[in-house]
């Protein structure tokens, strides 16, 4: 047996951190490790940002609850449950207010109630130029200032971001994939700031498993699956995942979105991308 030296296997005072050292930066999300640090220094109470209070309101006479049987020209409500799950995963305090019919007075009252009791309101549907697309008109009448009106992206063109003092409204397209993309790419940034953090996105590099045709005049978010690296790229000394473009059909195609791990962002009028092109993908799933 070896002799035990004085001080052997004993952690010296100050060896983990020094007096006066900052151990938790402002804006850091309090996870298990951060809570352990706070406890270790006796910080029984820590000042934090409140979770943003977010409301979601769906619109449309054609929308029925997801547990109901749709009649002719009706569909089940998939938008507000999707948005509730997405926004909750971002760390917000979310209330799903359900569906409001296409009635001007009813929508106005529900909007006023929502903005009075929440920091941010998401309205799904009623954003375009149809007969019953009342939301843009109502927001103007209610004194909201339009900061963004329509986007040059696909999917997601009919989009509104409006403010009235410290009240914020996101008007999302009625098609679910469009609403998902707009929330991930735009709304998430404001909500992160309101919660005291910094906007963060997880991007990964990969090689296309198949070529893609030239893109059109709008920035395009193409759902893709991401497979583990098949081999090491010796020339670049880096491993690349395999990016499989999915057969995305339309902005209503939630089934393809559910199979996707990420979104490949195509620039406006981007040329065709050959097989094995190295691309950067915005991850929307980490499984």
pLDDT in tens, 123-157: 998 887 676 688 999 999 999 999 999 999 999 99
Picking from 274, 275, 226, 231, the residue whose alpha carbon sits closest to that of residue 246 is: 226
String of DSSP letters for 230-276: SSEETTTTEE-EEEEE-----TT-HHHHHH-SEEEEEPTTPPPB-TT
pLDDT range class, residue 210, cuts 50, 70, 90: very high
- Asked whether the beta carbons of 107 and 126 are under 8 A apart, the reply is yes
Residues 6+ apart with CB under 8 A from 17: 23
- According to DSSP, the residues that pair with 96 across neighbouring strands are 56
Fold of 203-283: Beta-clip (2.40.340)
Instruction: Lowest mean pLDDT of 4-18, 179-193, 194-208, 245-259, name the range.
Output: 4-18
Neighbours of 205 (CB within 10 A): 14
With 70 as the cut, is the pLDDT of residue 231 above it? Answer: no
Q: What is the mean pLDDT of residues 255-264?
A: 95
Could you tell me the two tokens for 211? Answer: 């070529």
With 60 as the cut, is the pLDDT of residue 287 above it? Answer: no
Looking at the whole model, is its pTM more than 0.85? yes
Cis before residue 150, ω within 30 degrees of 0? no
With 80 as the cut, is the pLDDT of residue 14 above it? Answer: no
pLDDT range class, residue 8, cuts 50, 70, 90: confident
238-253 per-position pLDDT tens digit: 678 999 999 988 898 9
With 60 as the cut, is the pLDDT of residue 232 above it? Answer: no
Predicted local distance difference test score (pLDDT) of residue 16:
82
Instruction: Kindly state which CATH superfamily the domain 53-194 is placed in.
Output: MoaB/Mog-like domain (3.40.980.10)
Domain ranges of the chain: 53-194, 203-283
Q: How do beta strands 238-239 and 262-266 pair?
A: unpaired
Instruction: Lowest mean pLDDT of 58-62, 181-185, 228-232, name the range.
Output: 228-232
Q: What is the mean pLDDT of residues 157-171?
A: 95
d(CA 47, CA 157): 39
217-229 per-position pLDDT tens digit: 999 999 999 998 7
Average pLDDT, the chain: 91
Neighbours of 200 (CB within 10 A): 9
């Amino acid at each position: 047996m070896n002799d035990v030296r004085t001080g052997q296997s004993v952690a010296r005072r100050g060896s983990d951190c020094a007096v006066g050292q900052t151990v938790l930066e402002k804006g850091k999300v309090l996870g298990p490790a951060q809570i352990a640090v706070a406890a270790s220094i006796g910080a029984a109470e820590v000042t934090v940002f409140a979770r943003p209070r977010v409301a979601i309101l769906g619109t449309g006479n054609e929308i029925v609850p997801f547990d109901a049987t749709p009649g002719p020209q009706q569909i089940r409500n998939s938008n507000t449950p999707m948005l509730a799950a997405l926004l909750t995963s971002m760390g917000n305090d979310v209330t799903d207010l359900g569906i409001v019919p296409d009635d001007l007075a009813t929508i106005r009252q529900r909007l006023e109630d929502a903005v009075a009791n929440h920091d941010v309101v998401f309205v799904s549907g009623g954003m375009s130029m149809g007969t019953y697309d009342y939301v843009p008109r109502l927001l103007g009448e209610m004194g909201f200032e339009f900061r963004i009106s329509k986007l040059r992206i696909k999917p997601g063109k009919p989009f509104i971001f409006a403010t009235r003092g410290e009240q914020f409204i996101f008007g999302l397209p009625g098609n679910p994939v469009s609403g998902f993309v707009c929330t991930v790419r735009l709304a998430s940034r404001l909500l992160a700031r309101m919660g005291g953090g910094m906007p963060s996105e997880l991007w990964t590099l990969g090689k296309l498993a198949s070529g893609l045709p030239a893109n059109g005049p709008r920035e395009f978010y193409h759902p893709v699956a991401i497979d583990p690296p098949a081999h090491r790229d010796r020339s670049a000394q880096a491993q690349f995942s395999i990016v499989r473009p999915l057969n995305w059909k339309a902005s209503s195609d939630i089934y393809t979105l559910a199979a996707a791990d990420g979104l490949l962002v195509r620039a406006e009028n981007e040329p065709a991308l050959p097989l094995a092109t190295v691309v950067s993908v915005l991850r929307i799933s980490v499984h």
